[in-house]
A and B are shown apart, each in its own frame.
Chain A
Amino acid sequence: NAGVTQTPKFRVLKTGQSMTLLCAQDMNHEYMYWYRQDPGMGLRLIHYSVGEGTTAKGEVPDGYNVSRLKKQNFLLGLESAAPSQTSVYFCASSSGTGFQPQHFGDGTRLSIL
């Protein structure tokens, strides 16, 4: 009954370091999403995937890369972290579009010093 699992839950990085955030879902969902949530702003879509092996850019893709090698996993990479990327990152999945609600993981709180 795990749903969407994100690792790690917290991380502190120094400017210029790289890291990968992992998202795993066990609901056999086709669609997966990466969002960032900043104070006073709505969730903003970074990248998304409509199926295994596919990825697409969202609203704020710069500075991030993603991969969806397996249907259940969606990875978000930061190649060279910047303080502006300090945020809470949420992964979500859904079985489709339209009336299919997105199910969210618990988030990763990332601080870039």
Chain B
Amino acid sequence: GQNIDQPTEMTATEGAIVQINCTYQTSGFNGLFWYQQHAGEAPTFLSYNVLDGLEEKGRFSSFLSRSKGYSYLLLKELQMKDSASYLCAVMDSNYQLIWGAGTKLIIKP
């Protein structure tokens, strides 16, 4: 079967750095997406990785290792507004997204 694993919840301090991990086992791989979802709102696109390595976009970076079935999202200089759920999703061989359950990130002052 297909499976995406990510921690259920993480807590970090304002101004700090946090890394959210995602491991996957899917039938085929056509890229990995990270989305942010604030409580009661729609998911919004953050990043896309299809090749191994690090993609940096401002305070957010995403890393991919296809051989290990592993990705992480790195958030720097955390702000209170970063409190949200972070969803990892893999596009499989049928070009459909398989979603993880999400990691709820709590930022404390």
Contacts and interface: CB of A to CB of B under 8 A. Distances in A.
Interface of A: 4, 40-45, 48, 58-59, 90, 97-99, 101-107
Given A45-B96, A98-B95, A40 B42 contact: no
B8 to A, nearest CB: 8
Interface in B86-109: 87, 89, 91, 95-102
A44 B99 contact: yes
Which of A42, A59, A102, A105 has its CB near the most chain B CB atoms (within 10 A)? A42
B101 A40 contact: yes
Interface residues of B, number: 23
A106 B43 CA distance: 8
A58 B31 contact: no
10 contacts: A4-B42, A41-B101, A42-B89, A43-B97, A45-B97, A58-B96, A98-B31, A98-B95, A99-B50, A107-B42
A97 B98 contact: no
Interface in B22-71: 30-31, 33, 41-45, 48, 50
Contact of A42 (B8, B31, B45, B101): B101
Given A58-B96, A97-B91, A102 B102 contact: no
B95 A97 contact: yes
B31 to A, nearest CB: 6
A98 B45 CA distance: 14
Contacts of A103: 45
B73 interface: no
B20 interface: no
Nearest to B88: A42
A42 B42 contact: no
B96 A43 contact: no
Given A101-B33, A101-B45, A42 B100 contact: yes
Contacts of B4: 42
